[in-house]
Structure 1
Amino acid sequence: MDDFRIPVGTWIESGVDWIKDNLDGLLDVISFVMSFLVDGLTRMLLTPHFAVIIVIAALIAWVVRSWQLAIGTVVSFGLIVAMDLWVPAMQTLALVLVAAVIAVLIAVPLGIWSARNATVRAVLKPVLDFMQTMPAFVYLIPAIVFFGIGVVPGLVATVIFALPPGVRLTELGIRGVDSETVEAGHAFGAKPGQILRGIQLPLAMPTIMAGVNQVIMLALSMAVIAGMAGADGLGKMVVEAISTINIPKGVEAGLGVVLIAVFLDRVTAALGAPGENRSSLLGMLARRRTPRDGGGGTASAPAPEATAQQDAADEAEQAAVAPRRNAVGGGVH
């Protein structure tokens, strides 16, 4: 038994070499597209004066969350400018946003498919377990082999690392929608696609947005690891600080990551329940409309040409107030 060994790593290396040799054109296209997206977004964030970006970020925070968060955003981003970290901070923000968008575009359809198909769910579950438990540094090895040093391997590793919670929470949200509500949609003659768009997705949206929030947070946690692959930004500064034992540089770069993380976390968490934050601009507008909508006027009758999808959505809104939150507390199957 001393000489017995299964060369799993060697097999994986052979597979990586085969991909590198036979799919080089596809890898070049992926590298070009990802570099274009990150570089383009970075230029968009750095071209205007930093005050313009700060004002836009503060307005977003006020619209979806609260005026307190808007003030905190101005202070936080102002501190980033004061520490002379604006350029690396925007490079990191661009990397995180592009990675999060790509991960969400993959995760949400996979989560919906998994929720509606038991076979897909059985196949995806061990794959997601593997992706979540594999050390994040390991993803950099094949990524660097495929794409070389730079922002692309860091982006690829970030997408892979951040993908699983988006899939899991999307599946959880869709499966957590009350079955009676879905049956009501079937009773009105709605097709599966109409039920998905008109009932399941709206009711599962808080859980799906919780998944988006986790995707963004995990993507931001990969900033330092992406910096080890050569991606510019705060992560690269942290790596340089570690290699030179530069405490001030490391603390400032780490604080910049924290400030960006707090802003993204609060904003994406608020997007799961738009209008419910009383201090937000959307919440104030919703309260202003309430008296006018609830006045003594005569309610208009439903239009005769209302579709089955709309009828099912109306019944879901009335009968499934509790199930809106049940999805968040359920387990992952």
Structure 2
Amino acid sequence: MNSSFIGQAAESAVNFLFLHFRGGFDAFSAALGAVVKLLEDGLGAIPFVVVLVALMAVALWRKGVAFAAFGGVALYAIHYMGLWPQTMATLALVIAATFFSLLIGIPLGIWGARNKRVEVILRSLLDLMQTMPAFVYLIPAVILFGLGRVPAVIATIVFAMPPVVRLTTLGIKQVREELMEAGRSFGSTDTQLLWKIQLPNALPSIMAGINQTIMMALSMVVVASMIGAGGLGEYVLSGIQRLDIGIGFEGGLGVVLLAIILDRLTESFGVKSKKKVSRPKASKQAASEPAQTQT
């Protein structure tokens, strides 16, 4: 089956990039691959007991005793199934993809909130990124970067970035106009308004975007395993290829447990941030009450 003009144009564009910028793509692939490998080796070198204690301590701090117990049981179950190395490889992939998604996505979201034309262009691009099947990302990624972790990270970034861009833009645009006017009346510059008013008040929305980006990055691990990403996705893919229900179930269970832990912890930071944003109002009211009673 021959592709149409649109498909041929896309193929020509990818081939042009591969032929004329191959050296740059190779250098970028080597650098990104070294970062991911270093992150994976670093996580793998941490003893299981240390990770278990650290996770339970953070879970106890953010969510309470019940979730700390659940997190401990979940990690022990992953270790018991022999999936600890694969889990650390998956976590390294998710951390790398999430970091670069936030590094690119949050500034784009801020830019879109402050510029109408940029917002329109970004909205169209994000619609394309979110609706395009994830398998399609793998084709140009493999052509430009080969097989392995690097194309998996690139495809995951494209797939997982849209939520943080959208929710950053939404959070900044929803900052109340009276707060902006108060800042301008005190002579604040646009940069000061951004850092001292817009970003603090948009933080709950931004944290929700970070949470969704992490979840979408984690959902990409099985698809990315088809091009050599490794980790839990490769374990699930092995179960599919062998029609082995046990292997597939264990790999899927490992992904689910890791997703629940990451989701609840990142969600807790968004909730705490929302409380911090609303706390100054309550403190002002409390401070005014004694003065009223004295009069």
TM-score by length of 2: 0.91
Rounded to whole Å, the distance in 1 between the matches of 2:241 and 2:124 is 37
Report the counterpart of residue 43 of structure 1 in structure 2: 41
**Contact (CA 8 Å) 1:96, 1:220: kept in 2 or not?**
yes
Q: What's the RMSD between the two structures over aligned residues?
A: 2.1
Report the counterpart of residue 183 of structure 2 in structure 1: 185
Q: Secondary structure at the match of 1:206?
A: helix
Rounded to whole Å, the distance in 1 between the matches of 2:171 and 2:133 is 27
Deviation at 1:197, TM superposition (A): 0.5
Rounded to whole Å, the distance in 2 between the matches of 1:256 and 1:15 is 39
Report the counterpart of residue 62 of structure 1 in structure 2: 60
Rounded to whole Å, the distance in 1 between the matches of 2:172 and 2:150 is 32
Q: Which amino acid aligns with 1:228?
A: M
The 5 Å alignment of 1:123-134 reads 123-134=121-132
Report the counterpart of residue 251 of structure 2 in structure 1: 253
**Contact (CA 8 Å) 1:100, 1:215: kept in 2 or not?**
yes
Deviation at 1:6, TM superposition (A): 4.2
Report the counterpart of residue 263 of structure 1 in structure 2: 261
Q: Which amino acid aligns with 1:217?
A: M
Residues 275 and 161 of structure 1: CA distance in aligned 2, closer, same or farther (over 3 Å)? closer
Report the counterpart of residue 99 of structure 1 in structure 2: 97
**Contact (CA 8 Å) 2:203, 2:274: kept in 1 or not?**
no
Q: Which amino acid aligns with 1:169?
A: L
Q: Secondary structure at the match of 2:17?
A: helix
The 5 Å alignment of 1:178-257 reads 178-257=176-255
Rounded to whole Å, the distance in 1 between the matches of 2:62 and 2:88 is 21
Q: Deviations over 1:149-180 (max 9, x none)?
A: 11111111100000111100000000000011
Deviation at 1:65, TM superposition (A): 2.5
Which consecutive aligned stretches of 4+ in structure 1 deviate over 3 angstroms post-superposition? 316-319
Higher helix share: 2
Deviation at 1:33, TM superposition (A): 2.2
TM-score by length of 1: 0.81
Q: Which amino acid aligns with 1:226?
A: A
Residues 275 and 118 of structure 1: CA distance in aligned 2, closer, same or farther (over 3 Å)? closer
Report the counterpart of residue 24 of structure 2 in structure 1: 26
Report the counterpart of residue 115 of structure 1 in structure 2: 113
Q: Deviations over 1:89-123 (max 9, x none)?
A: 11001101110111011110000000000010111
Deviation at 1:205, TM superposition (A): 0.3
Structure 2: gaps (5+ residues): 285-295
Deviation at 1:41, TM superposition (A): 1.3
- With a CA cutoff of 8 Å and minimum separation of 6, indicate the structure with the bigger relative contact order: 1
Report the counterpart of residue 80 of structure 1 in structure 2: 78
Q: Deviations over 1:300-332 (max 9, x none)?
A: xxxxxxxxxxxxx99x9439x9xxxxxxxxxxx
